[in-house]
Every structure is written in C-alpha cells, then in structure tokens.
Amino acid sequence: MEERELTDVPQHVAIIMDGNGRWAKARGLPRLAGHRAGTENLRPILEASAEFGIKILTIWAFSTENWRRPDEEVKGLLRILQRMLQRELKELDKQGVQLRHLGRLDRMPERLQRQVREAIEQTKDNTRIILNVAFDYGGRAEVVQAVQRLIGDGISAETVDEPLLSRYMYTAGQPDPDLIIRTSGELRTSGFMLWQSAYSEYYITPTFWPDFDREELYRALLAYGQRNRRFGGIKDDE
C-alpha cells in the first residue's frame, strides 16, 4: 500500500492488543506462543508510531480480569513482561522511548516490580515517544482508585471537578487518547480507559494483534484523519 502523507496525526494512540490466543490457536500453537508473538510485534509498531509522529502510544497488555486465567498462562505472561524488559530496555532507552506504567504494581512479583520501576526511572528523560504499558489495568479500578486517593487526600466534595479527577488518574499530565484501536474485531471497549476515552475515536480491525503491522497502523491513522471530531459541539460549516 502506497503511503501518502498523513494530514492529521493523533497525538495519543491507544491499542487494545487483542487476538493473541486466537492467532496461536489458528496455527495449532499454545496460547503463550501467541502472547510471545504479540510481544515481538510491539517494537515495529512502536517504531512506526514514532515515525508517523505519534507522541504517546498506550498498549493494554494485561487487564485486572486477566488474573482469572489459568495459572500457567498468567505466570507465562509475567515471564514475558520480565524478559521483554531485560531484552529491550537498553534499545528502547537508546531510541528515546519513555516508559510509563498504567495500573497496579503491587500484585506483580517483587522482582518484576523493581524492574518496572527501574525501567521508568532509566527512561524518564526520553522525549521521542512515550510508551504507556497498561499492565494489571482496569478502567473501573482506575476510577475507584482515583476516588479513594481523592478522599485520602481530604479533598472536599464541592471542589472536585473533571480536571482535578483527571490528575488522579494513571495518565495524569497526559492528553486523553485521540484514537483507540482494537484488534481482532471485537466490538466492545472492555472498560479500557473509561475516563479518558469520552471523546476518543475508535478504529476496529479484524486483524489479530500479532499480524497488526505498519500498514494496518497507517490505515487506522488514515481513517482517523477523515473523522470529524466535534467534542459535543458543531463545526462552523455544519
């Protein structure tokens, strides 16, 4: 597919990386093979995102509900994250990627918690692109935790407004996602970024995440550029 210049590149793109298990099943492979393939796909998509001019890429790697999966799969996913950090951190840092974590850390193994914190610290001054990794993340859990922290800080109810609550979300200080992509064709949000996605554009593709490539990303960005974003208002020509 010949790429023409994109006229409206979203600043913040979030991806629900769905379909790893079905990708593996279609090939007669175990589910973890699909998760490994999905992890390998992250670097080329991250590089393409930076080249297209995206400033923030958020990926949903593990939900709060994923703990319900079989122990073998959960442990495998934790190992994959650990190995990815060990293998990729140096190169990500070299390429100017700033790593951030969205979600809970306390339920991860202590060694993995340390790795995540060290990766965040090591890359904190990088400016080429921000990579938010949503791991042990749930949209409802995020809102609940934000409210709990508000109460814990002794903030009175009458002073709470949208900007204040936004500062208590995992994405505090970041713009809301302009575009949310979901792979594998599922037509639901699964609670992803409930607060931040109020005016996000959605793009659904039937492609499983391990097969989602630069061309697929380009098509999503092209479709986004054709949307008419009103944010609840109307345009002058309407």
- pLDDT score of 230 more than 70: no
> Confidence band (pLDDT; 50, 70, 90) for 228?
confident
- pLDDT score of 139 more than 60: yes
- Residue 94 belongs to a domain: yes
Q: Would the pTM of this model clear 0.85, i.e. be above it?
A: yes
Q: Which are the catalytic amino acids?
A: 18, 66
For 51-106, how does the pLDDT look when each residue is reduced to its tens digit (9 = 90+)? 999 999 999 999 999 999 999 999 999 999 999 999 999 999 999 999 999 999 99
**Distance of alpha carbon 44 from alpha carbon 59, whole angstroms:** 13
Residue 73 belongs to domain spanning: 12-137+176-224
How confident is the model over 184-192, as a mean pLDDT?
Answer: 95
- Residue 83 belongs to a domain: yes
How confident is the model over 155-175, as a mean pLDDT?
Answer: 97
**Distance of alpha carbon 171 from alpha carbon 19, whole angstroms:** 25
pLDDT at position 119, please? 97
> Residue 58's domain is classified under what CATH number?
3.40.1180.10
Using the CB atoms, write b or e for 158-197: b if 16+ within 10 Å.
eeeeeeebbebbbbeebebbbbbbbbbeeeeeebbbbbbb
How confident is the model over 105-123, as a mean pLDDT?
Answer: 97
- Residue 236 belongs to a domain: no
Measured distance between the N- and C-terminal CA atoms of the chain, rounded to whole angstroms = 33
Count of domains forming the chain = 1
Cβ(141)–Cβ(134) under 8 Å?
no
- Residue 159 belongs to a domain: no
Average pLDDT of the residues of the chain: 94
- Residue 128 belongs to a domain: yes
- Residue 155 belongs to a domain: no
- Residue 166 belongs to a domain: no
Query: Can you tell me whether residue 115 is helix, strand or coil?
Result: helix
- Residue 213 belongs to a domain: yes
The beta-strand segments (E) located in the chain are: 12-16, 56-63, 97-102, 129-137, 179-182, 201-204
> Confidence band (pLDDT; 50, 70, 90) for 3?
confident
